[in-house]
Structure 1
């Protein structure tokens, strides 16, 4: 009994420590120090209820009524019936449908004064409200009005963060795919055994008799994934058109459904999705050709990102990929974590927070994802390098989505200009140069280097030469003239606008073959006339 903390001692310790996130003092008096008067009983009761609701909506706490903010004990200036009424505050002033879990409520005798003591547990079954329907939550040392939806989100987010790290008592190592574990073990280190790999990756702990498995181990390596999670799946859906319809106009068909542990899911879902990233179309030369609609690497990155960061605590939903005529939407359960915003992702600074810490680490070690936080930036870079518009990110209604559009970043003027070159099979680099020269605009070498992303002078020369041979690039001044221009006006010769794009099949094609090429290396063979042609 000597080790039992008595209520009077609890009051004494509270006075010494003071108010905190877990502790609140309330006075039973009001008015200036020299004219203190008892507070209205109903006001005190509601104050008690509000504070207890705030504690229950946070992490629990304790309330002392009869102690001032300066830690002095002023007690309760009420008779026993009224004090009993104060003890009933949780029942009378908290909404009956959202009761708080009271650990203790007592009258404490302390140094000749009566103090009310309440202790409340952290709530988990309800968002607690006062009898007036108001919601409060503990923030620092205050009971702050809070939207109930925010509390629900915080609780769900915490549950989702803890989901993959929890230990599953009934799980055994025989529930895992040993061949898969062995494969991953050899990728990481040829010297490590499957059992040691699980411990090295913090997926298991030895309790003295056997390995205890985290849920992440089951999500990643389970032989029968459906035994441990009902929605380890990715559904691929095809929408006929640009909008989903219902009823007799329903236009959604299922391409397929991938199931299995996370490693299996990555590969099987990609196999289902990949054939739908191209479109077979009838070309102008009367042939059927495959046209790439979306860059494969960007789509795979988005898919793996969804599998890595989805909210696995939501066991009622899987990942959905919808293929529209003009876009690809990947939607997974779980909104962005509260510590990351859409604006953070748009900034492309690599900001990240892992919901599934253990899953993300294993996929990183196995090479399925690169540095954490790089995924979105990599998707942006891949789309930009293919002249496509940036993806759109959404986070609402307990889901996160990324949308890739089958749409190029060309302006209407550029599109009309590029259509003039449809009969020529241009590479992305060649198309970029043609685009720079829209409607005859003069282009500098510096622009070509920067826009194409060239670092090697040889690559630049080969690109220019390929466009010359196609008959669609001319030089408006020679290399010597460009040098004189640079001397006259200052700056770098590379910055001098001297190239012009011309439409194909024009009268200038023959001219192009004889234009000055003094920028490029040439081989001269002795005893052969200079004007001899290659043939």
Structure 2
């Protein structure tokens, strides 16, 4: 927004409106004394709750560019970054840019441009839930706030995975990744195909942008726009997390990112790399792994397909211990389902994602993990496979547990070599 100096200068000349806020900066020593921290947090959150906007620091109320001293730019930027993290919930991640703008005398003076896109979330700042009305911020009326939560999928009424992601363009998607969903017989334009697949949708300005599903399935690193769209995998030594035992309590740790199908496969490799495999020599040599990798594959597919991506700050967590595997997936169980009914019922929180996974081919060298050719079959058999395959291997029941109505935990017991089944 206002991406070149001429456009930004002209916008400042015209004055504040729904998309522009101007702030003069004053410092007391190295501490920013103006604008006030809470006030600036309110302005930035109001932009995020509306259609986005730009705040320029270093411009007075009379639209005169007064600048920021060069040796104070770091302090001002730190001030902005800190309040976006600690004074706004969920935190903001604006684009902070240092520029030089012409003053009334023609001198080029440093300023800081803070660009805030319209957000996928509804943000609360010290002044409450605010939005931008013309050149002012206003507290949202209860009915307006309820509609905004609904529109941004926090109320789970609109499918979150089909929402356009602010600030992302179709060029940010990898052609190699989205073209794998194209039928060989069809030659639709990119825009038509992505819209049909729910990988792109028009935003409030009518601009076609990648959806949450599009970013998750067709970008090399979804974390650029969805910071928690990854799997945090840790393999521990022993049966408990014991950081006080020294630096070697973790055997392996990795943040697994990439498109969702790649995350599934790399998570399976993580388990295969860190689990024990025993050689059983009764009636010829036979390898007995701690975990059935087909069950692990199904568990990972279910986790990336059904987790709630609208919960800010949550990620899939894979924990590997000597006696069990734990998999934490953000979100409650959808559509009146219960933990007990999981093996028998089927419901999808993310229709676009599950549809894409059902069309997503598995590389030939990875098909040892499953007998099908696509990542998902949508027949609702995954939970049954996880429970049955795990019990056949270990002789113990795998189980699910819902934590605080916000996270689903799957525990798969490891096979005990001393009690190996016949």
TM class by shorter-chain length? Answer: 0.5 to 0.7
Q: 1:304 aligns with which of 301, 304, 317?
A: 301
Rounded Cα–Cα distance in structure 2 between residues aligned with 1:257 and 1:289: 33
More helix by share: 1
Say whether the 8 Å CA contact 2:332–2:407 is kept in structure 1. yes
Name the CA shift for 1:99/1:406 in 2 (closer, same or farther; >3 Å).
closer
The aligned counterpart of 2:256 is 258
Rounded Cα–Cα distance in structure 2 between residues aligned with 1:236 and 1:184: 28
Counterparts of 1:471-486 in structure 2, within 5 Å, are: none
Q: 2:186 aligns with which of 168, 191, 205?
A: 191
Say whether the 8 Å CA contact 1:319–1:332 is kept in structure 2. yes
Provide Cα deviations, 1:342-369, integer angstroms capped at 9, x if missing partner.
Answer: 1211xx32x1222222111111222211
Say whether the 8 Å CA contact 2:197–2:352 is kept in structure 1. yes
Provide Cα deviations, 1:73-119, integer angstroms capped at 9, x if missing partner.
Answer: xxxxxxxxxxxxxxxxxxxxxxxx99999xxxxxxxxxxxxxxxxx9
Rounded Cα–Cα distance in structure 1 between residues aligned with 2:153 and 2:169: 28
RMSD, matched Cα: 3.9
The aligned counterpart of 1:271 is 269
The aligned counterpart of 2:242 is 245
The aligned counterpart of 1:374 is 381
Rounded Cα–Cα distance in structure 2 between residues aligned with 1:213 and 1:284: 54
Rounded Cα–Cα distance in structure 2 between residues aligned with 1:277 and 1:301: 17
Task: Provide the secondary structure at the position in 2 that maps to 1:344.
Answer: coil
**Number of residue pairs matched?**
266
Say whether the 8 Å CA contact 1:237–1:323 is kept in structure 2. yes
The aligned counterpart of 2:137 is none
Provide Cα deviations, 1:372-405, integer angstroms capped at 9, x if missing partner.
Answer: 5221012123234446323110111321111111
Rounded Cα–Cα distance in structure 1 between residues aligned with 2:158 and 2:395: 34
The aligned counterpart of 1:295 is 292
Rounded Cα–Cα distance in structure 2 between residues aligned with 1:332 and 1:172: 28
Q: Which sections of structure 2, spanning at least 5 residues, go unmatched? A: 1-125, 131-140, 361-373
Q: Greater relative contact order (Cα 8 A, min sep 6): structure 1 or 2?
A: 2
Deviation at 1:190, TM superposition (A): 4.1
Larger Rg over CA atoms: 1
The aligned counterpart of 1:395 is 402
Q: Which sections of structure 1, spanning at least 5 residues, go unmatched? A: 1-96, 102-118, 126-151, 419-427, 432-535
Counterparts of 1:113-124 in structure 2, within 5 Å, are: 121=143
Rounded Cα–Cα distance in structure 1 between residues aligned with 2:330 and 2:142: 33
Say whether the 8 Å CA contact 2:194–2:200 is kept in structure 1. yes
Rounded Cα–Cα distance in structure 1 between residues aligned with 2:243 and 2:200: 47
Q: 1:363 aligns with which of 357, 363, 374?
A: 357
Rounded Cα–Cα distance in structure 2 between residues aligned with 1:356 and 1:368: 15
Rounded Cα–Cα distance in structure 2 between residues aligned with 1:261 and 1:278: 28
Deviation at 1:180, TM superposition (A): 1.2
Q: What TM-score do you get using the length of structure 1 for normalisation?
A: 0.43
Rounded Cα–Cα distance in structure 2 between residues aligned with 1:253 and 1:292: 18
Q: 1:201 aligns with which of 197, 213, 218?
A: 197
Say whether the 8 Å CA contact 1:175–1:223 is kept in structure 2. no
